[in-house]
Amino acid sequence: MRSLHIAATGMLAQQTNVEVISNNLANMSTTGYKRRRAEFQDLIYQNLRRVGSQSSDTGSVLPSGAQIGLGVRAAAIYRVVEQGSLQQTENRFDLAIRGNGYFQILMPSGDIAYTRDGTFALSPEGVIVTAEGHVVQPGITIPAAARDVTINASGEVLASLDGQITPQNVGQLQTAIFANEGGLEAIGDNLFLATPGSGQAQQAAPGQPGHGAVSQGFIETSNVNTVQEITSLITAQRAYEMNSRVITASDSMLETLTRLR
């Protein structure tokens, strides 16, 4: 019976859906996290009577055929890149991007990774780094004698030194944008890598056309909507139960057949 296999694909699809939702809920407090959404496609169809085929030797054509679908499969898991809320922290090295763009991070392998998580700090050498100690590009060093650091909306890092009225510009952060943000590959630790699907990174200073501005003393929170995720979870659970009932009904029908004499 086809219904056994069809219902099984439905259960597998809803299992994937629940896994995506659970990951969203698990990361509802993760800085800069972008929620995911599972998308599904129907599988190929088996033609019992092909639509448009001739039904007689006089040239009559079937106006409607007979096709039976063979189930469903997970087609993609999209990342929803809408802006999360900004939360004030008062930490001078906490940064958030208002608008498009990613901070650029130099990985130990030499690759450049990208992140929306702006919870930065200083290394023992005074370099701005991530929570994992990776250098934020372009590798800005804060003088040890600096009594205050200001990072403006354009990403300029200004250090106030004793005996100087004008703050010293020690560097400027650069952000990267992509033609297709959904094509970035997540590697964990709130980091992404560019792929052929995302296109090449387009770098510029914050505030330039297409690039968001930097807010010092803020972080971007997750864009997960808890109510929406719980509603989706309930819907997925009910869909899973209905597919399991189809399997139970199909099994009952097969049992009836085996009892025929």
- Torsion sign across C-alpha atoms 50, 54, 56, 62: positive
First-to-last alpha carbon distance for the chain, in angstroms, is: 20
Give the per-residue pLDDT at 162: 82
Q: Which residues contact 244 (CB under 8 A, 6 or more apart)?
A: 7, 11
Counts of helices then strands in the chain (DSSP H, E): 2, 20
- Separation CA 121–CA 92 (nearest Å): 9
- Separation CA 100–CA 252 (nearest Å): 55
Give the per-residue pLDDT at 1: 77
Give the per-residue pLDDT at 208: 92
pLDDT per 10-residue tile (average), the chain, 261 residues:
88 94 94 93 79 67 75 91 91 92 93 93 92 92 89 92 86 93 91 93 92 93 94 94 92 85 68
- Torsion sign across C-alpha atoms 176, 182, 188, 190: positive
Residues facing residue 157 across a β-bridge: 151, 171
Q: How many residues does the chain have?
A: 261
Residues facing residue 79 across a β-bridge: 36
Q: Are 233 and 28 in contact (CB under 8 A)?
A: no
Give the per-residue pLDDT at 199: 92
Pairing of strands 191-193, 121-122: unpaired
- Separation CA 15–CA 22 (nearest Å): 10
- Separation CA 90–CA 219 (nearest Å): 10
- Separation CA 48–CA 27 (nearest Å): 47
Pick the closest to residue 17 from 69, 73, 70 (CA basis). Answer: 73
Q: Are 74 and 16 in contact (CB under 8 A)?
A: yes
Distance of CA 127 to the CA centre of its chain: 29
Q: Are 41 and 71 in contact (CB under 8 A)?
A: no
Q: Which residues contact 164 (CB under 8 A, 6 or more apart)?
A: none
- Separation CA 55–CA 246 (nearest Å): 33
